[in-house]
Amino acid sequence: MRITRSMSVKEILTTLREAEGYYITNTQRDLSQSDFKNRILLHTDLLAAPYREKAGYFSLEISGGASVHVDMLRKQVNPFLKLRLLRQEMPNTMFQTLCRGINLFGYRPYPENAIRLTVREFAKYLEVWRVFDFLNYIPNMIPVFEEVKKAGKLLEPCICFSTGPEHTDEYYVSKVREILEVTGEDILLCIKNHGGLGSSARIGRLVHAIKQTFPDLIIHYHGHNTDGNDIGRIIEAVKNGAKIVDAGDHAFTGFYGPPPILTVIDTLEAYGFKAEGIDRDAVIATSHALRKERLAYANFESQYKGFDPTVQTHKLPGGAMGSSLEQAEKGGFLHLMPKILLEELPRVQRELGNWWSVTPGSQILWTTAVDNVLSGERYANPSGDLKNLLLERYGPFPFYRPKDEIYKKVFGSDWKKILEKEGGLQKIEPVDLEQEKKTLEEKLSREVTTEELVLYLQHPTDAVAFFKFEEKFGHTYVLPPQIWFRRGGFELGEKISFIDYRGKFHIIEVGPTHYTDGKKATYFVIDFHPVVLVSEEKEKKEVSAAPALTKEEIEALAQVGDIRSPFNGSVQKIEVKIGDEVKP
């Protein structure tokens, strides 16, 4: 039986509990983040939408994680508009999001009133809410839990999964019990295996342990195929009682995201398990429609191809694998990656408590390990996030606190006083929503909507830049990736033609550019209508200011493939030889 968004939460849960087979979530958002640095455009998703609608998925994960930010930052599309347009093409399929609990769709903890407002606005478009905390600290997720329930949507709390002696069935069952004490059993429970860790048998045992303790609980297994074995983990999850699993369109699957949907269907069918509600032909048709699109995203795929079984050692999440390798290449330390991934990163994980390498924890672990290796002095340049972690401002350590020597290296000889004075859960004062709205209106010189305020509260600099871009250029989501991501500019007289997602033909002809009175006018013919784009001509010496980002934001963006410097400047190569004195 197919599940649709018109059904009530109670009807959906009953259908899941009574189903003989299992359901599939198409994790487009995670696939885009893991294997394409979050660059898959709305144009591509709209092209696939009619086929995905017919396919009969439990849900389509299309929002959340870093995508809300990158939609504005690199794709210049409003995350709310994206959902409205996709809903027109997919009226029956439930839309799913990934929410980072107190960190929402960003990289830092937000005030509770901002969290509640954000969930209320996005809940108008999203039916399934997967919510996690990188320390599995349940109180950090409660405001989101409450707002999702109030909105009448499906709540899917996560237990983040990892490996090691601390990660026992008993521990995870206790966390499930803690969640249920807050939410009740009318939820979905996600086993969030963001790194694709553990053996097939290990996942099977975990699902079995949870189902033995909570037999009516509906389990949704989420994994990554980084080591090439997530099909095996999915099989064991379903055999032991999981009712929903995650996979992606085979035309776009890579190495670090989900495994192919069709492979999951065919393999589980051989084991006697039916994919409920699935139209196999529509699954195939989706990939036929998408296949030609993939070539346009080649620049955003990891240049390092192949599965990585050593993920069982370094534990990097799928969403950070390709971008970490790219960051290493651009930073000139690719040759040090074996040492970072197989020695330093696992060491840092053990030293800091062996918790879960997922946002924002994955950024803390990664930047600490990289700096330890590059600087040659361990914990010499601690980030603000590392300090907050050690102060337990994000929540208590789940298993053990780092040794005193780590605190001393990070905080100095007075570390005990600092810990006593500043330690404990971070208290975030409510934000003045009316004042923030007024500030945003002053920046844009117009009235703003609640949706715009929500985006601004999470990513103020990039949201304002996006709003101004949209005011100047309009909605650009109609452009296909072949044009949007084209490098090298366009030639005078060049004609660019394309067909949009509705099948409408468009043609753009690039005309000349004229300079008069400090103005630059570029002429175009768009769909046979003349258009003139006028802008201020800047002096050659003038340099436009780049948006100011914090160190933490830059580190987080590096994890999704956006490698940026924290400041503008010229980079020069200075030749030296052995024996030269180099002064900092």
DSSP string covering 151-215, please? Answer: TTPEEEEEEE---STT--HHHHHHHHHHHHHHH-SSSEEEEE-TT--S-HHHHHHHHHHHHHH-T
Quick one: what percent of the chain has pLDDT higher than 70? 92
Residue 33: φ, ψ to 5°: -70, -40
Contact 172, 209 (CB under 8 A): yes
Per-state percent for the chain, helix, strand, coil, to nearest 5: 45, 15, 40
CA neighbor of 315 nearest in space, from 222, 195, 229: 195
Instruction: Fill in the DSSP letter of residue 166.
Output: T
Residue 424 gets the label, from left (phi > 0), alpha (psi -120 to 50) or beta, of left
Question: What's the token pair of residue 330?
Answer: 């651009």
CA neighbor of 377 nearest in space, from 344, 333, 342, 413: 344
Residue holding tokens 């342990």? 209
Question: What's the token pair of residue 412?
Answer: 């100095």
Instruction: Fill in the DSSP letter of residue 361.
Output: H
Question: Which residues, at least 6 apart from 332, have a Cβ–Cβ distance to it below 8 Å?
Answer: none
For 227-238, letters b (16+ CB in 10 Å) and e give bebbbbbbbbbb
Question: What's the token pair of residue 95?
Answer: 């839309």
Please report the pLDDT score of residue 566 as a whole number.
37
Prior bond to 360 cis, omega within 30? yes
Residues composing the chain: 584
Q: According to the 3-state scheme, what is the secondary structure of 211-280?
A: HHHCCCCEEEEECCCCCCCHHHHHHHHHHCCCCEEEEECCCCCCCCCCCEHHHHHHHHHHCCCCECCCCH
Instruction: Fill in the DSSP letter of residue 546.
Output: P
Please report the pLDDT score of residue 563 as a whole number.
43
Residue 37: φ, ψ to 5°: 50, 35
Instruction: Fill in the DSSP letter of residue 103.
Output: G
Hey, is 512 helix, strand or coil?
strand
Question: What's the token pair of residue 394?
Answer: 């994000």
Instruction: Fill in the DSSP letter of residue 343.
Output: I
Residues of the chain with pLDDT under 70: 537-584
Based on C-alpha coordinates, what's the Rg of the chain?
24
**Partners of 188 in beta bridges:** 218
Please report the pLDDT score of residue 579 as a whole number.
53
Question: Which residues, at least 6 apart from 242, have a Cβ–Cβ distance to it below 8 Å?
Answer: 22, 191, 207, 219, 220, 221
Please report the pLDDT score of residue 323 as a whole number.
81
Q: According to the 3-state scheme, what is the secondary structure of 334-364?
A: HHHHHHHHHHHHHHHHHHHCCCCCCCCHHHH
Instruction: Fill in the DSSP letter of residue 22.
Output: B
**CATH of 488-542 given 3.20.20.150, 3.40.50.300, 3.40.50.720, 3.10.600.10:** 3.10.600.10
E-strand stretches of 433-518? 495-499, 505-516
Q: Is the dihedral of CA 306, 311, 313, 315 positive or negative?
A: positive
Q: Give 461: exposed, middle or buried? Use CB within 10 Å, 0-12, 13-18, 19+.
A: middle
Contact 161, 191 (CB under 8 A): yes
CA neighbor of 307 nearest in space, from 241, 378, 224: 224
- DSSP H helices, 295-331, are 311-314, 318-330
Largest CA distance in the chain: 77
Q: pTM of the full predicted structure?
A: 0.91
Question: What's the token pair of residue 98?
Answer: 């990934």
Please report the pLDDT score of residue 519 as a whole number.
87
Please report the pLDDT score of residue 559 as a whole number.
46
